[in-house]
A and B are shown apart, each in its own frame.
Chain A
């Protein structure tokens, strides 16, 4: 079974609109972390935001926020006031367990976001 599911292979959004990228996850471990990465056409992976399973509040980093709904096992990324430079692939990822290593990082298939002027 997929551990990370991103149901939107591609999205077109008008510049300055808010964007929600969906991510659902599957784990029986009570301790886990959820990550979002951005991959522009240049290829590198850029860390955006992190949410821990025990965090009480939704994570926010500038224009990025994570809509964490634990009961639904959902961790959607919200980008406010989208910009042309936001066009990229976006990956949701999960690390299970409370260990410090990142070797258990599982990635979703990604969402290709295109911002239109």
Chain B
């Protein structure tokens, strides 16, 4: 069972607010990821990290930023939320098991920007 936690589970905020979505894992994984998922759609990678002080942008352009100051913590920040940011955000970490890089996901944060 994966030990990766996301808070909050649901967030409804007004336009222009700064928000931080929290993601923590207790498995000691170096690799962590943020995916964005619109309803009924596929997941798109927006950020990833291969370790402390390492962050990269993913395939989908995003106005969000991330930081990786500690191995277990990979928060995502939106400086000024807009309705177009309304989506589900899924955090994941991965490790190689039997030669296969397996992703473990959190339960997600459903963000609604009014």
Contact = CB atoms under 8 A, between A and B. Distances in A.
Main secondary structure of the interface of B (DSSP, over half): strand
Nearest to B103: A102
B75 interface: no
Given A44-B105, A45-B90, A108 B100 contact: no
Interface residues of A, number: 27
Interface residues of B, number: 30
Interface string B74-114: 00000000000000101010101000111111111010000
B103 A47 contact: yes
A11 interface: no
Nearest to A93: B43
Contacts of B43: 45, 91, 93, 107
B21 interface: no
Interface in B31-55: 31, 33, 40-45, 48, 50
Contacts of A37: 103, 105
Interface in A51-73: 52
A89 to B, nearest CB: 9
